[in-house]
Structure 1
Amino acid sequence: MDRDQFIFCLEAVPDVETSFNTEVLKNLERLAFDQGIASIYKTCDTIEGLEDSLNALLYDDHNFKDYEIIYLVMPGEENNICLNNYYYSLEEIAEIFEGKMKGKILHFSNAKVLDLSEEEAQYFLDITGARAVSGYGLKSNNLKSVSIDKAFFSLCQEYDDIIEIVEELHQKHYSLCKLLDFRLYY
C-alpha cells in the first residue's frame, strides 16, 4: 500500500454533551501511538448526530478518500443499532449511508451482533457502496473486541485484498476470531 489509510470512529454514547474519555478513544489513541494509524473519533447519541458526523466527514474533510475504515461502536440487537433507546435497522442505516461509502469497510465492534443473510449483506453493500461490512457474531460486555479490532485495522494497512486481510487475521488470531465469531461480508 503506497499511503496510509485512516479510521473514522463513531461511538454511541448516552449524551454527547457529557465529556469523558471512553475505552474506545483510549484504544484508538494507543493504536496511533503504537502503530501510527491515525483516526478521527466522534460520539453520537441520536441518528441525526450519526448522520451529521458522517456528513461532516464526507463534505468538510478533504481527506475523506484516505479513510478506509468506518468503525461503528454502537449497541444493538441482531441487525440494528440502538441510539438514545431507539432502534434503527441496518437497512435504515444503509439508506443514511446511501452511495456515501464507496470503497470503505464498515466495521462494527462487538457491542452488537452482526448477522446478515446473503440478501441483507448484498443490499447493505449495494446501497452504501461499501467494499465490505464486518463485525462479530458474539456480543459481549465482558469480552470486548478491541484487540482483534486493532489487529484488523493494522492488517488493512498492510493489504489491499479483503480476502487476504481476513486470512491473515484468522491465521494470526484464530482463537479470538472463533471466540468472537468474526464475520465479513463483501
Structure 2
Amino acid sequence: MDNDKFIFCLEGVPDVDTILTTDVVKNLEEIAIGQGIASIYKTCDTIEGLEESLNVLLYEDHNFKDYEIIYLVMPGEASNICLHDYYYSLQEIAELFEGKMKGKVIHFANKKILDLTNDEAQYFLDITGARAISGYGSSYNKIASCSTIDKAFFALYQDNDDLTEVVEELFQKHYNLCKLLDFRLYY
C-alpha cells in the first residue's frame, strides 16, 4: 500500500453499539486488497459522533494529510444528512468543520442525494476548505454506489490529482452508471 492517498469513511448507522459488517466495510476491504488503497472506517449515529470521529482523525492521526477522500455514507436529502432521525444541513456541517478539511475531497455515497446550488456548494467549499464535494443526484436504490462507481472514482483519483480529468475518465469508462446515478462534482 504505497499510495499516498487514503480514504476516511464515516458511515451513519442506527446504533453504533450494534456491531455489524456492512456492504461498505466489505467494499473498503476489496478496495484495500484489489487496489491497494488504505482506509479507516468508523460509524456514527449522532452529529456528536460525526464531529468526534472527524476531530480524532484531525488532531490525533498523524497521517491525516494522507486522507484525501472523506467518504460519507449516510442517508439524507438534497442538501442535508440524517443521523438518528435528525436532519443537519450541509451548511451546519460546513460550519462544524470550518477550515478543517483543507484540500480534502468530501464524497457522499448514493444513500443520499447531493443536489446543491452553486452558492451552497461554494459556501461549503469556502467554509471547510475542502477541495471538492461529490456525490449523486439519484439515490437509485437498486445500485449501491459503494459497490460500483465509488470504487472506480477512488481508483482513478489515486492515479490522477486533476479532478476534472478523473471525472471525465469516470464518465468515459462508466457512462451509463454515471448517468443513472447522476454523478456530481462541485469544486
TM-score by length of 1: 0.98
Deviation for aligned residue 1:96 = 1.1
3-state SS, counterpart of residue 153 of structure 2? helix
- Any conservation in 1 of the 2:3–2:37 contact (CA below 8 Å)? no
In structure 1, distance between residues paired with 2:142 and 2:20: 21
In structure 1, distance between residues paired with 2:65 and 2:121: 23
User: Deviation string for 1:92-112 (max 9, x for gaps)?
Assistant: 010111101100000000000
In structure 2, distance between residues paired with 1:169 and 1:55: 31
Deviation for aligned residue 1:4 = 2.0
Report the counterpart of residue 171 of structure 1 in structure 2: 172
Partner amino acid, structure 2, of 1:152: F
Report the counterpart of residue 159 of structure 2 in structure 1: 158
Root-mean-square deviation (CA, aligned residues, Å) is: 0.9
Q: Which runs of 5+ in 2 are unaligned?
A: none
In structure 2, distance between residues paired with 1:180 and 1:140: 6
In structure 1, distance between residues paired with 2:97 and 2:151: 24
3-state SS, counterpart of residue 19 of structure 1? coil
| 1:52-67 to 2 correspondences below 5 Å | 52-67=52-67
Number of aligned residues: 185
Report the counterpart of residue 115 of structure 1 in structure 2: 115
Moved >4 Å (runs of 4+):
none
Report the counterpart of residue 133 of structure 1 in structure 2: 133
3-state SS, counterpart of residue 98 of structure 1? coil
User: Deviation string for 1:36-67 (max 9, x for gaps)?
Assistant: 11000000000000000000000000000000
Deviation for aligned residue 1:140 = 2.6
TM-score by length of 2: 0.97
Residue 26 of structure 1 pairs with residue 26 of structure 2 = yes
Partner amino acid, structure 1, of 2:183: F
Deviation for aligned residue 1:3 = 4.4
User: Deviation string for 1:16-54 (max 9, x for gaps)?
Assistant: 001010110010001101111100000000000000000
Once the two structures are aligned, what percentage of the paired residues are identical?
Answer: 74
